[in-house]
Structure 1
Amino acid sequence: MMATLCRSVALAVLLTLVSAVDRGNFKSCQQSSFCRRHRAVKPGESPYALLTNTVTVNDAGLVGDVINENNRIVFTLEIYPLKDSTVRIKINEKNPIKPRFEDPYALVKDIHGESFEVVDQSAQGVTVKFGSHRAVVNAKPLKIDIYNGNDLVVSTNARGLLKFEHYRNKPGNEEQPAEGEGEPNALPADDQEEDKDGLWEESFKGHTDSKPLGPASVGMDISFVNSKHVYGIPEHADSFSLRETTSTDPYRLYNLDVFEYEVDNPMALYGSVPVMLSQTARHTTAVFWHNSAETWIDIKKLPDSNVVSSITGFFSSGETDPPQVSTHWFSESGIIDVFVMLGPKPMDVFRQYAGLTGSQNLPPLFSLGYHQCRWNYNDEEDVRQVHENFDKHDLPLDVMWLDIEHTDGKRYFTWDHYKFPNPLEMTANLTARGRKLVTIIDVHFKRDNNYFFYKEVHDRDLFVHTKDGNEFDGWCWPGSSSYIDMTNPEAREHYSDTYRLDRYKGSTLDTFTWNDMNEPSVFSGPEITMPKDNLHPGIGVEHREVHNAYGMLFHESTYEGHLKRSDRRLRPFLLTRAFYAGTQRSAAVWTGDNTAEWSHLRISQPMLLSLSVTGITHVGADVGGFFGNPDANLLARWYQAAAFQPFYRAHAHLDTKRREPWLFDTETLRIIRKSLRQRYQHLPLWYSLFYENELTGAPPMRPLWASFPEDEATFGIESEHMIGSALLVNPITEPGAVTANVYFPAGVWYDIEDLSMHHGPSHKVVSAPRDKIPVFQRGGSIIPRKDRVRRASTLMREDPYTLVIALDSDGKAQGTLYIDDEHTFDYRQGKFLYLAFSYEGGVLTSKKIDPNGSYDTASWLERVIVIGLHKQPTKVSVNSATVGTRDLESTFESGSATQGSQLTIRKPGVSMREEFTITIH
């Protein structure tokens, strides 16, 4: 009877989710006890003080005791200066009744310390100098100011909101406290008058969360001084420049399955990256709140008259004090572990964060092409007809996707024997045309002893447990399901082994993976996810400690499985919905279950920028919206926008109308074809940017301020973005719009279609008819293209290149191109070409950036286009070791005051693997 009731409840929840988001399924701050407690902390009354006589210095940094003077609990403060202008601040209990959990998953292993010196130490505090930076620790009340040179950029606990709830024994427990713990069976003095509801257990919509260690949250305010704009902390369907939360809930980081999410609010979605960036004309600064538990962030923007005083550290009305963005971070458990990255420029912060959590591994080129997905393509014949229609209608396609219905009763790693009886033959038909297949593997596994994967994991006791030690039984797509304990190395090893071709029968080396529902989604659970008091036997902690990292552990194991099946030779590709800091090391991300509405097309832009600046760079949104039925205009505009975003996939819900491009009118089909061709032409640019992303952490999709960090007009712009530093894109996201108001930063900009010329800084209204997305090449850039668009990117590997040179006002330009085999790891053994192009004084040169790279490409230079020449040349010649010196054919189209000229140089004929010069006389 109880099982039937649970199933009924779960199905009712599912039906609610499918129809629209029910905000009542998810907690508000008021319904979260630790959120209420931290929001109730009064500024300016901090009881925490550094005991300066305990401060010691070792090779790594500074260590000292901090006391809460209200309850006499002692904590340990650690400050570690790190390489590349970064500093780490940790606060932990000194003598906890059990060790507190510290997230081991986000950071890369090699984080190196920086040399430093203590330049001042007294009863008032300590100053640590590292490089050109300082960390100034004020003892009472505790406050840590971080300086970049002489500029104060970040201040912690400046408002006095630090709160660290120590572990304690539950009232009635007779165990004695550890030294320094105070009385275990009573609340400490500073807690006597606070909200006691939810301290030891908490209920929400019929679910009760037990808390055997009681309240254990941590929180602190972090102020960005002289700042008016902060960004990051994805994932939220909200503005790029984060809003104040004084009149709303805080931004929440708690991975949740939210169907048909609403836009323009701070509700938590599928992933969590606790990283925030501040941008000013002088400094780019970032903080990483290293904690995988549920986290909330309040934001308050303080004007000049009500800011942190550089003297007292608390609110003042000093006329000389600078403005700031004050943020308040609080997590349900764990410790305070904060990394401050000091820039000073955007590219520096991107590199510094990549040094902490890693960068995006270079994806295989096909993953940057176009992907076609639907829940669900019905059978093998449906798959065959769809990809043949792409050829029939001259539409490039790289990947076909299969959702949950391709499996045998939603048992992952299996196939429906009636609908997909010959998966190897089906995949071979795709690969014969240069295409790949993606299948879905979700995080829940059907509880069925006849299902090989469930039985194997069950027999080895590798699933997540309930608080009572039993195997957890949750409800998801297969019905009764268990969830593998990804904190257990043995479980990760077994799961990744299942991707071997002899285990995942019907898969091939051209079958790739989509990890969905890995928040984890549990239809029968609190907030549609796993109970927090579930246990992970692998490391012996409650689920609350690792919730936001759980999905990442799953997709990292998928990545490892792909490596194993190819003997670590081929680059994996996988897509994940849930993510955390470090996800970029192994997966692409999409923005989840969006809707076929203009507002969702609009919000995809700030959502993708928020992901990009926090390290998650291979990102996209479902073209057309997952839910609902887009009209032809919305669909066409979405294809245009996504063609200039990193991950390009169309996807649709089971109950939507079929929407393959050829099912629309001739004009819409033409527009979609044009968008797809633009994407494939620019694949060399995208691929080069992703290589540079691996090297430096710089995202391929960037906010304007990444290229123009001193231009304050760019700080609030989210309707435009840059691709690298060369292309400015302004997607059309309003129904019926045929113009766009574009902000052009300093320089000259050329429309990539009609070469109309625009000078910045300026706002201009530009034409954007239905078949055009406003895209502009920056004067001073050189973009590599491949203009022979074929049915799949893999068939373009050895095709020739075109270089598009857009001259700046000084007649100069530069760019880069990266070439390798596009799918193996051989590039890490030097099999690549990384080229620099430079144009100055009428001479185009190509040289190797990395002389250690060598790759025997058959690609050659087919065409050079030079935009912005002031006069027609008399002659064009090429020189290289293999072709010698010879004259080239060219044509010239003169420009005007509003349109750039175009010189087209035909068939230079040089190999891309050799250095060459082309001279315009």
Structure 2
Amino acid sequence: MTAMKLTVRVVLMMFVILGVVTLYVSYTAYYSSTLKVKQPVTYRTPFRDIKITAVHPKPPEKACHSVETQLKFDCHPENFPTKEMCEYRGCCWIATPARKKPISSPDPLDSQAPVDVPYCFYPGNYSAYRVINTEKVFTGTEVLLKRDSPSYYPKDIQYLNVNFNYETPTRLRIKIYDSVANRYEVPIVLDPARQPPHDPAYRIHIQNDTFHFKVIRKADGKHNETVLMDTSLGAMIFSDQFLQISSLLPSHNIYGLGQHRSHLNLNTSWSRFTMWNRDHFPIEEDANLYGSHPFYLVMEDSGLSHGVFLLNSNAMDVILQPTPAITWRTIGGVLDFYILLGPTPIEVVQQYTQLVSRSFMPPYWSLGYHQCRWGYNTTSRTLDVVHRLRKAGIPQDVQWNDMDYANNYMDFTYDPEKFGDLPAMVTQLHSEGLHYIMIVDAAISTAHTKGSYPAYDLAIEKDILVKDGFGKQPIKGKVWPNETVWPDWSHPDATDYWTHVVSLFYDKVKFDGMWIDMNEPSNLGNNDSVTLCDFNSTLENPPYLPAVANYTLRFMTLCATAHQSLGRRDKGLDLPGLHYDLHNLYGLMMAQASYKALERSRELRPFVISRSTYAGHGQYGGHWTGDNSATWHDLRMSIPAILNGNMYGISMIGADICGFHSDTTPELCQRWMQLGAFYPFSRNHNEQGTIDQDPASLGPGVAASSRRALLIRYKLLPYLYWLFYRSHVYGDPVVRPLFFKYPQDQITYRIDSQFMWGDALLISPVLTQDTTHVNAYFPRDTWYCLYSGKRRDSLGEYYNLAAPLDIINLHVRAGHVIPQQEPSLTTTESRKNPFKLLVTLDEFSHSSGELYWDDGESLNTHDRKLYTLIRFKTLKNKIYSRVDMLGYKDDLLKLEQMTVFGMAQKPKQVKVKSNLHDDFYYDDSHNVLYVNKMNITLYEAFVVTWTFTEIKDLS
């Protein structure tokens, strides 16, 4: 009986095994026949081979030919695509004649094929993730996704969470992340979500079978619904080191995706923008530069605007194609999108800066003119330049020194024998009303005896240096002082370390700000000089390599495998942080530490200028656009660079005036000084071995026109300071493209040869050689020439303006009251001078404006209410003021003169504070009224009236 039962069980088990084997063989045979591949396939990257297994059947030929050219999304973004590999990925292969560029780069090391119409593209029904659960929650909607078959990249994430969080009425967050394991996420503090909005400006649509979603701007009575994001095309892939998602765009008018050199309006005809911070001067269009800003702004066809920010700091490519559509490809982290619905472009920037933090409030002196070069070499020569500018009557507020001030290029050192008495020089500059800034590189020298160099000794003591791939020893490379190491700004003690080092040097040299450089971080030894990288690691050679310079992440920087303090989180374990993740944050974190170190050391408002940046940098400092060249093209491309910076919330931004590399020419420098006088950050800077290019050194013509342009800047500094206050408190960009003010005028969408200060001042520079006219666009409005008050009523037209070599064209928009101040050669002196008001009347004889004033250097004056805010308004025949805040009472706040543009006829009488005032003049050739010697105390409310018929005083 027992034996019979055993026999039966054995037979049943054999049948089960036979059935399982039969099913397995049938399944394998089916899948193999479908894919026509029976073993893994290897594809090559520049430095390693990767094996993948086919997971998708070859698509039907009919399905491939039905995909329109503009709807083709690249399935093989790596170099050297082949038909076999393409079909192995389950994608379509059609060698289209529409492609203009070769499908492969001629460089065998190049990991990226040129971007163009792809030969290998996804079929319309390419399988990806499907929805297995959707749940409505208090903050929005949560979706659980499952991938049924792997992608063609290693280590797919099978289960994903997608959270649609309704954060504000105009801000939607979409976070896509691993459901099982924790992954690296960008460790910066963002504006928190508020109470979920009752009626947001957006709605979402989720497709359940093959997952995709749409973000839709709701109709508002004036505008129909607009789809802002639509991920239904392409393929969403989420593997360990390759994350991809594509979205249709509602318009070709897209801006941002920095840092790169390009025109403001980005080219959607197959363009690629790579983000991986690198030390490389701007010479190639669209190439990755010093900063990473994965944010774009779109002008929709309706004239409304929205923005999208991807919170991801890993190396990435962003592809634009003429669908129009965008594809994001990043090699780590998560996909964490913030959609900002504006609806105006200025509101998009306000919402973005609210999210990542508003710009810092600069000290007043930093709005003046800055002079620098690499190669002054001595204190004597540095002071000679200062006095040469002073003798020429050219305003200057800040003198800088490049690395030639330092002893053997070591931070926070100077050599009295070679450079001279640096503390005495700074004391002299201060006595003359100027300020001083020196360069500080990110790398710290190791070449000294123990105990002689606090910057290194303290870093070793506190153990706050970036470590090698084993996490044992500080990673070493080469920068200007030869062998160097790098502080790990993500370490919790890094700011205290930096504060101590900064304070020690400040005790010797009373510098006023910090210029932090080489902080991408830059390694001139390229990691083959001291510490070797682990070339076999997938971190150094990922399965997908964005189109970074020289085809490797470690080119002129630290190893991707280098250890940093800020850890990764994986399955509940605390793992070391990796430079692979944190590289793009290095400059931001250094700026944060520098800002706090200056704040603690000086107890005054910090001023930091950094080369490397990331989202949110503007709260800690400004930026110069890098080591440009003395060419007309570099002059031209500086305008979109400063406009982009302000779009990212970096208000204090400028280019090296007259060019850093190569010798400038008098004409180029003259035109560049005119333009640079209207950069938010106005600094002339060039490299060693080139000619002197401070404006006093290039002849009387350059000196005279530079003096004129800078004196206009200094006259307008109260208005510029108010713009920085608006940027600091409300997020308004200081400089802005024309379409920010005129979003309904589509001609303005592509203009980046002109720009505006706020809404009032239009700057139209000459940008080409041997040119004495400029073809300037004036949007539909009333404009006045700043020099003469001549009125121009434009219907939205181009005008050919005379532009003699000594003139930059400046026009003021009607409807503004612009506070001004009599200029001096430093802000220290000009702040003592009386104020003026420029009033530009509109068609109804109305105008308005504000003056923000504080002591110009104390900390947190706005939050502590230590400021004065005065509002001005013109109605018909009077202008009056209202003091909204009186937290800073300065007896020097005196109004002496008022100029009114657009007064149709000469007034018979002018009254100042109800008293007849005889000292006025009317220019009937341009309809301008000048009222002089007003002697009004600005922090007391006043009224000025004018009448066109004489009224007798019967009192």
Q: TM-score, normalised by structure 1?
A: 0.83
Residue 486 of structure 1 deviates from its aligned partner by 1.1
- Per the TM alignment, residue 551 of structure 1 is displaced from its structure 2 partner at its CA by 0.7
Deviation track 1:605-630 (CA, whole Å, cap 9, x = no partner) reads 11111111121211100001000111
Give the partner amino acid of 1:431: H
Report the AA paired with residue 413 of structure 1: F
Report the Cα offset of residue 679 of structure 1. Answer: 1.3
Q: Do the aligned partners of 2:253 and 2:266 also contact (CA within 8 Å) in 1?
A: yes
Larger Rg over CA atoms: 2
Contact kept, 8 Å, 1:240 with 1:718, in 2: the verdict is: yes
Provide the residue aligned with 1:394 in structure 2.
Answer: 393
Residue 196 of structure 2 corresponds to 115
Q: Deviations over 1:130-180 (max 9, x none)?
A: 4232122222322222222232241142323321113xxxxxxxxxxxxxx
Question: 1:544 is matched with which residue?
Answer: 580
The offset of 1:69, in angstroms, is: 2.9
For residues 289-438 of structure 1, the aligned pairs below 5 Å read 289-302=310-323, 325-438=324-437
Structure-to-structure mapping, 1:128-277, within 5 angstroms: 130-150=199-219, 151-166=225-240, 216-225=241-250, 227-244=251-268, 246=270, 250-259=272-281, 261-263=282-284, 265-277=285-297
Contact 2:252 2:268 in 1 (8 A): no
| Counterpart in the other structure of 1:44 | 124
Deviation at 1:42, TM superposition (A): 2.1
Contact map agreement 1:448 1:454 (CA 8 A) in 2 = no
- How far apart are 1:57 and its partner, in Å? 3.5
- In the TM superposition, residue 887 of structure 1 has moved relative to its aligned partner by 2.3
Report the alpha carbon displacement of residue 885 of structure 1 after superposing the two structures with TM: 3.4
* Aligned mate of 1:796, from 816, 830, 853: 830
SS in 2 for 1:414: coil
Question: 67, 74, 91: which is aligned to 2:176?
Answer: 91
1:563 paired to 2:562: no
Q: In structure 1, which of residues 681, 684, 692 is the aligned counterpart of residue 718 of structure 2?
A: 684
Alpha-carbon distance in 1 for matches of 2:113, 2:106:
14
Please state if 1:471 is matched with 2:474: yes
Distance 1:81 1:40 in 2: 37
- 1:814 to partner: Cα distance: 1.4
Structure-2 separation of matches of 1:662 and 1:116? 58
State the Cα deviation string for residues 471-507 of structure 1 (Å, max 9, x = none): 211111111110111111112321233222x454422
Counterpart-to-counterpart distance in 2, 1:84 and 1:380: 56
Candidates 910, 913, 916, aligned match of 2:942: 916
Shift of 1:223: 2.8
The answer as to 2:804 corresponding to 1:769 is: yes
Cα 1:40–1:113 shift into 2, 3 Å? farther
Task: Kindly indicate whether the alpha-carbon contact (under 8 Å) linking 1:251 and 1:267 is maintained by their aligned counterparts in 2.
Answer: yes
Whether the 8 Å CA contact 2:494–2:593 is kept in 1: the answer is no
| Partner in structure 2 of residue 481 of structure 1 | 484
Query: Which of these residues, 896, 915, 924, is aligned with residue 894 of structure 1?
Result: 924
Tell me by how many angstroms 1:338 deviates: 0.4
**Aligned mate of 1:283, from 295, 298, 304:** 304
1:553 counterpart (584, 589, 602): 589
8 Å Cα contact 2:169-2:197 kept in structure 1:
no
Which residues of structure 1 form unaligned runs of 5+? Answer: 1-24, 118-129, 167-215, 303-324
Contact 2:278/2:289, CA 8 A, preserved across alignment: yes
Matched, 1:828 2:863: yes
Aligned in 2, Cα 1:40/1:339: closer, same or farther, shift over 3 Å?
A: farther
Distance 1:770 1:295, change over 3 A: same
Q: Distance in 1 between matches of 2:115 and 2:805?
A: 47
Aligned residue identity for 2:134: V
Equivalent residue number for residue 814 of structure 2: 779
- Aligned mates of 2:321, 2:332 — CA distance in 1: 23
CA deviation vs aligned residue, 1:540-588 (integer Å, no higher than 9, x gap) = 221110111111101110001001113xx41100100000000000111
- TM-score of the superposition, structure 2-length normalised? 0.80
Residues 876 and 920, structure 1, Cα contact 8 Å, conserved in 2: yes
Would the alpha carbon gap of residues 628 and 909 (structure 1) be closer, same or farther in structure 2, given more than 3 Å must change? same
Cα deviation code 1:681-730 (max 9, x no counterpart):
11111100000011111111001011111111111111111110001111
1:362-384 deviation per Cα after TM superposition (whole angstroms, max 9, x unaligned):
10011111000000321111122
**Match of 1:636?**
670
Matched, 1:904 2:903: no
Residues 736 and 756, structure 2, Cα contact 8 Å, conserved in 1: yes
Tell me by how many angstroms 1:31 deviates: 1.7
Deviation at 1:756, TM superposition (A): 3.2
Q: Tell me the CA shift for residue 417 of structure 1.
A: 2.5
- How much does 1:116 deviate? 4.8
CA distance in 2, matches of 1:26, 1:793: 55
In structure 1, the partner of 2:82 is: none
Please report how far the alpha carbon of residue 644 of structure 1 lies from its aligned counterpart in structure 2 after TM superposition.
1.3
Question: Distance in 2 between the 1:661 and 1:630 partners?
Answer: 11
Alpha-carbon distance change, 519 to 245 in structure 1, aligned in 2, over 3 angstroms: farther
1:624-663 per-position Cα deviation (integer Å, ceiling 9, x unaligned): 1000111110000000001112110000001111122222
Indicate conservation of the 8 Å contact 1:448/1:455, yes or no: no
SS of 2:366 mapped into structure 1? helix
C-alpha contact 2:848 2:872 (8 A) present in aligned 1: yes
- Among 530, 536, 557, the alignment partner of 2:558 is 530
Counterparts of residues 660-739 of structure 1 (less than 5 Å)? 660-739=694-773
**C-alpha distance in 2, partners of 1:637/1:84?**
45
TM superposition shift of 1:888: 4.3
**Structure 2 letter corresponding to 1:31:** S
Residues 297, 328 of structure 1: 8 Å contact kept: yes
Cα distance in 1 between the residues matched to 2:811 and 2:476: 53
2:129 matches 1:31: no
Distance in 2 (CA, whole Å) between partners of 1:43 and 1:674 is 62
Contact 1:744/1:763 (<8 A) preserved: yes
Q: 1:565 to 1:41 in 2, by over 3 A?
A: farther
> Matched residues in 1 for 2:792 and 2:697: separation?
38
Aligned-pair distance for 1:809? 2.0
8 Å CA contact retained: 2:130, 2:147: no
Alignment check: 8 A CA contact 1:234 1:607 kept: no
CA spacing shift, 1:328–1:592, aligned 2, 3 Å: same
Give the 3 Å change call, closer, same or farther, for CA 400–412 of structure 1 in structure 2: same
State the structure with bigger RCO (CA 8 A, min sep 6), 1 or 2: 1
1:413-453 superposed Cα distances (whole Å, 9 cap, x missing partner): 11123134432221110011111100111100111352321
The 1-side partners of 2:120 and 2:847 are apart by: 56
Percent identical pairs in the alignment equals: 26
C-alpha distance in structure 1 between counterparts of 2:695 and 2:495, whole Å? 40
- 1:495 and 2:515 correspond: no
1:321 equivalent in structure 2: none
Distance 1:528 1:113, change over 3 A: same
User: How many pairs are equivalent?
Assistant: 789
Give the Cα–Cα distance (whole angstroms) in 1 for the partners of residues 741 and 661 of structure 2: 35
1:35 deviation in Å? 10
For 2:183, give the aligned amino acid.
R
Is structure 2 residue 135 aligned with structure 1 residue 56?
yes
